Structure 1
Amino acid sequence: MSTNAFAPPEAGQHGAMPRRRGSLRLRLSLGVPVLTALVVGAIEWSLGDLVEAADGLTRMVWLVLLLSATQLLLIEALLLWPLRRLAAGCEAMESVPAPLADDEAAPAPRLAAELERIGHVMRRARGSLWQQGQAALALQRELTQQRELLAQAQRELAANQRELAGMARTDPLTGLANLRVFDETLRREFKRAQRQRGLLAIAVLDLDEFKQFNERHGSAAGDAALQRVARLLNERFKRDTDVVARLGGEEFVALLPGFGMAEAQGVLELLREDLRALRLPDGQGHLTLSVGLAAASPGHPYLSAQALMQAADEALYIAKHAGRDRLSLAA
């Protein structure tokens, strides 16, 4: 009677052990990812990257899943499996007949050793989790550094592109517009003058005997002289609509929208006087200027921008062969 009275509770206890282990595994399966997500989120927030684009969120989700799976495997291998062995041992001890009084204390050392082993395993698991957290922090710092390096490279690339774009539109020695920019501006202004029946003057300027100047004073002095002449041109032609460019060598060109032949001639004569009075670096001689001038107007039209430029070139040719240091007007 006494044995039958206690049999049902023992059976219930034996059946409850697997249920408790299953419940523990379920709680760990739910709790570990949540705890890992909180730890990773705290790390992301401390580094200022909690709110990122979709790729950053995907990376964090994968990191949480990887860490959670690693922890669950470690807990299963290092904690739950020893617990199952311990539970199996307890069940086996309950199923065997009660030992004699002298042997009742025998399982106690084994139980203490098993508990010590479980405690050691748990400490190792905590150490492993800490190492994984440190590895995640190191990875996050590396990603942040790589993003900063990428941003710096993008800024440097943008600066180089701006510099190259500027070099493609300016003469590197004088800083004036180059031939490409001048051609674009000439076509645009010529069409505008035709459409509005306005005035447009173009002057081609060439420094006289500049090759001999370079031979006497050296190329460095020649470059300095070209830079001084470029500054003088910018000072004389300073309207917003004026465009001064270097065509190459010692040849320059000035495009003067809104100027007819008479207005442009007056400005160019003043320029020639300024050049004669110009003090070159180290007092090295002086320079003179030959100019060919052409102007389009409703009363004197040209068929194209190229025809207007050619007329100015022909006027310069005449000035050169007429003795230099003079201004020649296109017919």
Structure 2
Amino acid sequence: MSTESLADPLSPVAARPVGSLRLQLALGLPLVTAGVLLAIEWTLDSLDTSPEGLVRLAGLVVVISAAQWLLLEALLLRPLRQLAQGCEAMVAGAHTVGWSEPGEAGAVLSAELGRIGHAVEQTRTRLSQQDHEVRELRRELGQQRQLLQEAHGALEAQKRELASLARTDSLTGIANQRAFDEALRREFKRAQRLRGPLAVAVLDLDQFKEFNLVHGTDEGDAALQRVAGLLSDRFKRDTDVVARLGGEEFVALLPGVGVSEAQGVLELLRDELRALRLPDGRGDLTLSVGLAAFSPTHPYLSAQALLQAADEALYIAKHAGRDRMSLAA
């Protein structure tokens, strides 16, 4: 057998597989990476299809694919290339060896087969190490994914908490003006559509600045919290909304309640607050109330007009001597 018959079939085998594998990896890694990232984003319900989101996703695909490429190049392709070079060197050595004697040819072939066996064993060891490293990498990726899901859950919880804080008065814990305005617009449209009653009461603590000067701001804050507690206890239907508009001013939104019914409940509330004396017994709290109600027989053009009517009624109650209720005209 001539050396040419050995060299010709080995040369393409040594050159083609590594290059073909590199091409397959170069084409496949970005596609697989993009698929994995899209699956994760879709699972977490955070897929952003905007141009900025797609650019960010493409950047992640490039970075992760490059990192995988470098890892595979160092752990797999380079050893394969070295093996291919060894095979080429063996073939080149076969051309230079003059196998003129059978014993000499057998010794050379045995030596070359020994080298091939050693190279195969080294490659097997390296592949085993790489398989172990791949399993470790998968385990770390699983841990990172779990951490990412936990961080996503914590972020969603923080978002919900911030949304709640944006609609809640920090001192009293009841709704703030933003939440009340939204509820007023919603309930006013519903009352117009259903032609049902809707009462709005604006409540203001009388002479509260003097109260703070005499008893201190801490006791003033406690008084505001007492008023908020009474309002929440008195108006506890799912549709009722009580809110603090600011300072010592509160408001109650009562869907489905007419003027006479609202008036009776608010008078009882004023009596309860008056009886709620300070812990040291040095004073009491009183409320002035302005009440307005929407009904088919007494309509208002807008939710703001209804609230303005209650404000004007409160102004009348204040100037009539405080500690009383006034009805909108």
Using structure 1 for the length normalisation, give the TM-score: 0.71
| Structure 2 portions without partners, runs of 5+ | 26-31, 40-60
Q: Which residue type is aligned with residue 78 of structure 2? A: T
- Are the structure 2 counterparts of residues 88 and 182 from structure 1 closer, same or farther at C-alpha, using a change threshold of 3 Å? same
Distance 2:268 2:327 in 1: 16
Deviation at 1:73, TM superposition (A): 0.7
Q: How does 1:198-213 map to 2 (within 5 A)?
A: 198-213=196-211
Match of residue 269 from structure 1: 267
**Number of the residue aligned with 1:77:** 85
Name the counterpart of 2:292: 294
Q: Does 1:93 align with 2:74?
A: no
* Contact in 1 for aligned 2:14/2:85 (Cα 8 Å): no
Return the offset for 1:152.
Answer: 2.9
Equivalenced residues, count? 291
What is the match of residue 237 of structure 1?
235
Shift of 1:197: 3.1
Note if contact 1:74-1:125 (Cα within 8 Å) is conserved in structure 2. no
**Separation in 2, partners of 1:196, 1:117:** 93
Of 209, 213, 218, which residue of structure 2 is paired with 1:220?
Answer: 218
Q: CA deviation at 1:243?
A: 1.5
Residue deviations 1:134-183, cap 9 Å, x none?
A: 44345434433443333233222212221221122221222222212222
Which of 309, 316, 319 does residue 317 from structure 2 map onto?
Answer: 319
Any idea what SS the aligned residue of 1:93 has?
coil
Name the SS of the counterpart of 2:253 in structure 1.
strand
In structure 2, what is the Cα distance between the partners aligned to 1:315 and 1:24?
97
Amino acid at match of 2:172: T
Letter in 2 for 1:18: A
Contact 1:244–1:253 (CA under 8 A) maintained in structure 2: yes
Task: State whether residues 82 and 118 of structure 1, in contact with CA within 8 Å, keep that contact through their aligned partners in structure 2.
Answer: no
Contact 1:224 1:281 in 2 (8 A): no
Question: Take 1:221 and 1:17, find their aligned partners in 2: how far apart are those partners?
Answer: 101
C-alpha contact 1:228 1:280 (8 A) present in aligned 2: no
| Contact 1:276–1:286 under 8 Å retained in 2 | yes
Change (3 A) 1:131 1:314: same
- Aligned equivalents of 1:297, 1:14: Cα separation in 2: 108
Q: Which residue identity lines up with residue 93 of structure 1 in the other structure?
A: W
Match in the other structure for 1:21: 10
Normalising by structure 2, we get a TM-score of: 0.72
CA RMSD of aligned residues (A): 3.9
Q: Distance in 1 between matches of 2:304 and 2:13?
A: 90
Alpha-carbon distance change, 246 to 54 in structure 1, aligned in 2, over 3 angstroms: same
* Distance verdict in 2 for CA 1:197–1:113, change over 3 Å: closer
- 2:29 is aligned to none
1:252 aligned residue: 250
Letter in 2 for 1:307: A
Shift, 1:237, TM fit: 0.9
User: What SS is found at the alignment partner of 2:172?
Assistant: coil
Residue correspondence of structure 1 range 55-204 to structure 2 within 5 A: 55=36, 66=73, 69-78=77-86, 80-85=87-92, 87-88=94-95, 92-94=98-100, 121-204=119-202
User: Residues 227-257 of structure 1: CA distance to partner in whole angstroms, max 9, x if unpaired?
Assistant: 2211210111112222211110111011122
Shift of 1:82: 4.7
CA separation of 1:135 and 1:194: change in aligned 2, threshold 3 A:
closer
State the distance in 1 between where 2:234 and 2:8 align: 98
Residues 37-81 of structure 1 deviation map (CA, whole Å, 9 limit, x = unaligned) = 9xxxxxxxxxxxxx9972479989x76975653343121134x14
